[in-house]
């Protein structure tokens, strides 16, 4: 059977064909396209119409090549949403989570509901761009679109609506909003009331594996396809990726490595306590009623932004960057990748240099020194968060699974393994797409459980294994990292 996956990240998107035959799954990339942030009028937006058009192009390619697909599933990044009027039309191009309008939004919201209360209800990591604080900002600024909004749909749900005409709210994507109670698995009225939003303004709740609808007559005409079902996969890309972790048992942590890095564990019940609150961990919805207990970490965003600056003089390949990083001294300059100054600076190169200057370290000058600084710092940040997980997990963590595009970076994988001190399994690099497709396959009865999904994935792909080395050197580097660690820069 063939399944069609739409996988949208913060910088690019793809449509992918997944073919499930017996106990194997194979992927074929159909289309790839940029997901550009539009800057205008002092704000950052997503071009949802361009994304929709790219999905249509992918479906048209399927029709041209006479490929019979069983269903369609869409996953995206979290928190962002689209507002629709009573006529079903989009009221405003959706804001990007990197828009600066939510700076200071947390502090303002906590004047209405205390911070501790918000965390106790939601168990969600505090970030100023969470949906709750975006809505609070829009309400406070008198956003005309919000005032007129009949429905509010998260990004994958909005795109599913554009394909089917059916409005839903998928559980895993809704769980990123900081408006959902993980105990009841419903939106919390106490939090919504502050921003003047009602639960009825969201689509009907669905869970991974449920059918949303079929392609509308308009989309059928545009693509040349029939009434193909659209399935609610784990709409949050990380939830789909975690569902694809090829783990043998529960005693693992995962690192979804891409533009963002997300490190966590999979548990039955949310972990909401004093330590998780103080360490700012999040409890997001997973597949089969699980909870993804994790922390967001700034990932390859740091290097991607540096590469963009370097493009003007030299478009360095990843191979060139890795070779240059290995040619310079280790741990010369170390940063906290999650410091506020790296969120969306005008120059990432200068932001890194300024952080090092302010913490009394040598400023990395060459592209090799900057790359090494980023890789060393990410691995050490992973060690810090892994330590937090070890202290809060209800089981012993004896392996780290690295999934996503970053799993192909063998140098960073080895650094991460050395830093955390447990074996690392790298792969699949296409975790999100695999999880998306396997959840569609599960909806069609090809597999029955998540473990069956994981076993099929493990038998279909090549995994890389890493063992820790240089323990003393990395322990000393971690002490330096802690000495240079700043949250106020």
pLDDT class of 274 with cuts at 50, 70, 90: very high
Average pLDDT over residues 113-129: 96
The residue annotated as part of the active site, out of 237, 398, 455, 488, is 237
The ranges assigned to domains in the chain are 2-238, 245-427+447-489
Architecture of domain 245-427+447-489: 2-Layer Sandwich (3.30)
Q: What does the mean pLDDT of the chain come to?
A: 96
Lowest mean pLDDT among 113-117, 349-353, 427-431: 427-431
Share of the chain above pLDDT 90, in %: 94
pLDDT at 420: 98
pLDDT class of 14 with cuts at 50, 70, 90: very high
pLDDT at 258: 84
Average pLDDT over residues 435-462: 95
Give residue-wise pLDDT tens across range 382-422: 999 999 999 999 999 999 999 988 999 999 999 999 999 99
pLDDT at 237: 93
221-260 as b/e, with b when 16 or more CB fall inside 10 Å? eebebeebbbbbbbbbbbbbbbbbbbbeeeebbbbbbbbb
Give residue-wise pLDDT tens across range 63-95: 999 999 999 999 999 999 999 999 999 999 999
Share of the chain above pLDDT 70, in %: 100
pLDDT at 436: 98
Examine the pLDDT at 10 and tell me if it is beyond 90: no
Give residue-wise pLDDT tens across range 253-262: 999 998 889 9
pLDDT at 259: 84
pLDDT at 312: 85
pLDDT at 344: 85
pLDDT at 365: 97
Examine the pLDDT at 49 and tell me if it is beyond 90: yes
Examine the pLDDT at 235 and tell me if it is beyond 90: yes
Same fold, 2-238 and 245-427+447-489: yes
| Superfamily of chain region 2-238 | ATPase, nucleotide binding domain (3.30.420.40)
Examine the pLDDT at 120 and tell me if it is beyond 90: yes
pTM: 0.89
Is 157 catalytic? The answer is no
Give residue-wise pLDDT tens across range 135-192: 999 999 999 999 999 999 999 999 999 999 999 999 999 999 999 999 999 999 999 9
Give residue-wise pLDDT tens across range 461-474: 999 999 999 999 99
pLDDT at 22: 84
- Contacting residues for 167 by C-beta, under 8 A, at least 6 apart: 84, 151, 153, 157, 161, 203, 204
């Amino acid at each position: 059977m063939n399944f069609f996956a739409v996988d949208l990240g913060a910088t690019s998107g793809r449509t992918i064909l997944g073919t499930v035959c017996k106990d194997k799954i194979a992927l074929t990339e159909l289309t790839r396209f940029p997901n550009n942030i539009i800057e205008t009028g002092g704000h950052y937006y997503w071009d949802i119409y361009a994304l929709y058009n790219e999905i249509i192009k992918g479906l048209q390619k399927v029709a041209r090549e006479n490929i019979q697909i069983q269903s369609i599933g869409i996953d995206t990044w979290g928190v962002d949403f689209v507002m629709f009027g009573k006529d079903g039309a989009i009221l405003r191009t959706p804001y990007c989570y990197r828009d600066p309008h939510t700076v200071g939004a947390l502090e303002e919201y906590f004047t209405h509901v205390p911070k501790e209360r918000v965390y106790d209800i939601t168990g969600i990591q505090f970030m100023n761009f969470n949906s709750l604080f975006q809505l609070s900002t829009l309400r406070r600024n008198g956003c005309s679109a919000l005032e007129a909004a009949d429905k509010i749909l998260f990004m994958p749900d909005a795109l599913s609506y554009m394909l089917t005409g059916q409005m839903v709210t998928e559980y895993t994507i809704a769980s990123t909003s900081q408006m959902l109670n993980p105990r009841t698995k419903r939106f919390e009225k106490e939090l919504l009331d502050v921003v003047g939003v009602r639960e009825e303004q969201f689509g009907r709740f669905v869970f991974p594996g449920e059918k949303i609808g079929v392609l509308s007559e308009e989309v059928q005409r545009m693509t040349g396809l029939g009434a193909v079902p659209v399935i609610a996969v784990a709409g949050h890309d990380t939830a789909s990726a975690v569902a694809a972790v090829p783990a043998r048992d529960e005693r693992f942590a995962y690192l979804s490595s891409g533009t963002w890095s997300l490190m966590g564990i999979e548990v039955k019940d949310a972990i909401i306590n004093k330590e998780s609150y103080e360490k700012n961990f999040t409890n997001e919805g997973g597949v089969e009623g699980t909870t993804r207990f994790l922390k967001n970490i700034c990932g390859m965003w740091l290097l991607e932004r540096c590469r963009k600056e370097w493009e003007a003089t030299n478009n360095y390949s990843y191979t060139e960057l890795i070779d240059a990083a290995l040619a310079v001294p280790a741990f010369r300059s170390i940063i906290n990748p999650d410091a506020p100054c790296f969120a969306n600076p005008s120059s990432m190169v200068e932001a890194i240099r300024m952080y090092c200057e302010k913490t009394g370290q040598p400023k990395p000058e060459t592209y090799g020194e900057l790359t090494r600084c980023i890789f060393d710092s990410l691995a050490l940040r992973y060690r810090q968060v892994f330590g937090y997980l070890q202290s809060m997990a209800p089981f012993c963590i004896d392996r780290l699974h690295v999934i996503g595009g970053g799993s192909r970076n063998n140098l960073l994988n080895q650094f991460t393994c050395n830093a955390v001190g447990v074996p690392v399994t790298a792969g699949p690099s296409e975790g999100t797409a695999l999880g998306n497709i396997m959840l569609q396959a599960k909806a069609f009865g090809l597999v029955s459980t998540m473990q069956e999904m994981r076993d099929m994935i493990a038998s279909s792909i090549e995994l890389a294994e890493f063992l820790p080395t240089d323990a003393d050197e990395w322990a000393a580097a971690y002490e330096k990292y802690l000495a240079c660690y700043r949250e106020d820069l």
